[in-house]
Amino acid sequence: MKNIPQHIVLFPDGNRRWAKQKGIVSLDGHLQGYRNIIDFAQWCKNKGVKVLTAFGFSTENWKRSEEEVNYLMELLERGLLESLERFKKDSVKVTIIGQIERLPESLKKTIEMVEKETKENTGFHLNLAISYGGKWDMLNAVKKIITEKIEPEKIDEALFENYLSTAGLVNPDLIIRAGGEMRLSNFVIWQAAYSELYFSPKLWPDFTEKDFDLALEEFDSRQRRFGK
């Protein structure tokens, strides 16, 4: 392939529907989904992708049942801890974007530890969005700009991007959403302005490396004009 996306955004959608199809509890679907995200990150790294931003838990997901929310928080914490040695071995830098202050204390401590122990890694960048929403991200950037009393005439797109949670990262080239849904669902709204969109009918736990290859082939075939 001539064109490999440098930054991919992933919607790992369909975990609960997958579990229902299998006749198992939805919580087990989330577990399989998380494992697939870690594998997906490795596929990205192997193919030359530099950054993966994966949707782990949205601001809207807080509306789910207390049991499911608590399980997802525990799953994220356990997953980060279990994957830490793999992250270090594969030189994966891990960062978390979102409303960190809303998370359980134990998860916040785990995030702080994982980010600290992987911050010098340069082989790949895994960016996990937890309690994240695109509208929140933009409003949060506006609040920071107001707090710092930046003069309006100095505010341009480049400055604004420096106040988003993805500051310092190139905007995503490709957005992949599994699960058959075809929308952005309040994720990286600003950053996705010129991203290529790819929707897969596969439920996320069934999404394989071959499915990923199909997405990359589609991306490679497109002409990105950026309005020109």
Q: Of residues 13, 127, 137, 173, which has the active-site annotation?
A: 13
90 and 42 in contact (C-beta within 8 Å)?
yes
20 and 50 in contact (C-beta within 8 Å)?
no
**C-alpha to C-alpha distances, 32 to 17, 24, 25, 28, 89, nearest whole angstrom:** 12, 11, 11, 6, 22
Q: Of residues 3, 28, 61, 206, which has the active-site annotation?
A: 61
Does the active-site annotation cover 137? no
Does the active-site annotation cover 13? yes
133 and 59 in contact (C-beta within 8 Å)?
yes
Residue 204 tokens read as: 């996320």
Residue numbers annotated as active site: 13, 61
